[in-house]
Chain A
Amino acid sequence: MSYAYLFKYIIIGDTGVGKSCLLLQFTDKRFQPVHDLTIGVEFGARMITIENKPIKLQIWDTAGQESFRSITRSYYRGAAGALLVYDITRRETFNHLASWLEDARQHANANMTVMLIGNKCDLSHRRAVSTEEGEQFAKEHGLIFMEASAKTAQNVEEAFISTAEKIYKKIQDGVIDISNESYGIKIGHETHTTSSGGRDGTSSQAGSCCS
């Protein structure tokens, strides 16, 4: 399927907070409790619709451990949106948010939209960070905020989509210069370009000439 815009996302946050599970829940609508830990980066993509415009989300999922920061840092460049994830049952993952934001501020473009996600909200009996604290942090740093659960899918869809809505609004308002690729947005050919020369895939491939 062709798209009007392509938004590049990056998912960041401490190890074990559920970054890969959020991505899998969003792209495949399933929860996989047992999966390989992420080394370096992983990738996922999905189409969504905003104001009747097809938008493709291209999502880079990163390794959380400190040792991999030098690798993951290079993925901030050219990201339109970031999902910054912590685990509501592990206080330290919340305490580290500031250092993640610092990384983002240093390596991403200043107009990157950041969504703060308090994941694992299904485990409310083990909660170590209150919803208000999450809200407060988001407010102080100008982030959108949601608590979500990759396990139950609660708010997962919403988190990815409202980030896209915010980005879309920035485009409409002229805050983002879409001709500049470092903002992490690409314009697709919305017209029916099924006959893209030489590409041998299915017709759904048309227009996904992104890299």
Chain B
Amino acid sequence: MERRRGIDDYEPGPVPPQRPLDRFGFIKQEVGGSTPEGLPKSRLVADYEREARRVRKWRKMIGVGGSDWKHYARRKPHVVKRRIRKGIPDCLRGLVWQLISGSRDLLLMNPGVYEQLVIYETSASELDIIRDISRTFPSHVFFQQRHGPGQRSLYNVLKAYSVFDRDVGYVQGMGFLAGLLLLYMSEEDAFWLLVALLKGAVHAPMEGLYQGVKIVFKVGLALLKYCHEDLIKLSFEKLIHALRNFPEDAMDPDTLLPMAYSIKVSRSLEDSKDEYEKQNRKHIQSTELIGKA
């Protein structure tokens, strides 16, 4: 309960507003030199126009409030896939994620359930959640204020989820997922999307297009490939640091994602996973045996 008693404790306080933010609302780290401000203006204008074109296409595709979405996704799944890969426009992500995941249907099928979970239910994980709230996106404007609207919403969503899915409860790391969703949608929408992501929706309209863990690997591999030349020169400790702090150009989605899509991850990923789990089990079993002996 550090958060409530913590008057004499650390008090981060609001960060001065003049600190520069990136376009997602994170306070920029002072990394010497390479700032994106250096981009030529023409490129920014081109980016802006491209985004505006995409927004128009997407609006047409999903219809008002998403009314045409299911129809379109059934009729032209390949177009949907291509457009998703090019990037869902930022201003439509909140809505589109809910449509794709099927969380919108969950919401409509369960009116009042979220409110019930937040107001009336108690969770065994409440203290655990509270302890982690201030450690979730502490450098984001929406979450940095203690007991501010961001932290309150995050707490509500996580608590509601831990009640809704009691077998899983609260697991550290969920906050980063829920927090990201809250930047794009209301608490209730974020809750049902979290449910759809972690438990699965009744019927996800885009099920056939789910990439699962494969895309996580592909993006990871693309990052490694892009920085390969630099990474292999590093000592172990510098490598660990570098793997957490990729340069900005490596993270440009227009470069990174096409590369990721081009990497073929074969069945052998599944095989490697099975093998790893088998070995891990063996190791744990053997140490447990030794422990008991």
Interface residues, chain A, with chain B CB atoms under 8 Å away: 15-16, 33-37, 39, 43, 45, 58, 63, 65, 67-68, 73-74, 105-107, 123, 125-126, 151, 199-201, 205, 208-211
Alpha-carbon distance A106/B236, docked complex (angstroms): 28
Contact A37 B135 (CB under 8 A): yes
Determine, out of B35-43, B92-100, B254-262, B283-291, the stretch whose residues face the partner at the interface.
B283-291
User: A65-B128, A67-B171, A105-B291 are contacts. A123–B9 as well, Cβ < 8 Å?
Assistant: yes
Contact B235 A209 (CB under 8 A): yes
Contact B284 A73 (CB under 8 A): yes
Point out the residues of chain A lying under 8 angstroms from B132, CB to CB.
15-16, 37
Contact A65 B171 (CB under 8 A): yes
Interface residues on chain B, size class: 20 to 34
Point out the residues of chain A lying under 8 angstroms from B234, CB to CB.
201
B280 contacts the other chain (CB 8 A): yes
Can you name 8 A-B residue pairings with CB atoms under 8 Å? A15-B128, A33-B10, A37-B135, A73-B284, A106-B291, A125-B8, A199-B233, A211-B236
B5 contacts the other chain (CB 8 A): yes
Contact B237 A126 (CB under 8 A): no
Q: Which of A39, A63, A209 has the most CB of B within 10 A?
A: A39
A11 CB to closest chain B CB, in angstroms?
A: 15
Alpha-carbon distance A71/B194, docked complex (angstroms): 23
Q: Which residue of B8, B10, B172, B280 is within 8 Å of A67 (Cβ)?
A: B172
Alpha-carbon distance A166/B233, docked complex (angstroms): 34
Alpha-carbon distance A106/B12, docked complex (angstroms): 40
Q: Which of A37, A74, A123 has the most CB of B within 10 A?
A: A37
Contact A151 B10 (CB under 8 A): yes
User: A36-B138, A43-B240, A73-B284 are contacts. A15–B131 as well, Cβ < 8 Å?
Assistant: yes
B156 contacts the other chain (CB 8 A): no
Contact A39 B173 (CB under 8 A): yes
Point out the residues of chain A lying under 8 angstroms from B153, CB to CB.
none
Alpha-carbon distance A107/B284, docked complex (angstroms): 8
B238 contacts the other chain (CB 8 A): yes
Alpha-carbon distance A95/B185, docked complex (angstroms): 41
Contact A201 B288 (CB under 8 A): no
User: A36-B138, A151-B10 are contacts. A126–B172 as well, Cβ < 8 Å?
Assistant: no
Alpha-carbon distance A106/B134, docked complex (angstroms): 34
Minimum CB distance partner of B172 in chain A: A65
Closest 3 CB pairs of A and B: A33-B10, A37-B135, A34-B138
Point out the residues of chain B lying under 8 angstroms from A68, CB to CB.
172
Point out the residues of chain B lying under 8 angstroms from A35, CB to CB.
135, 138
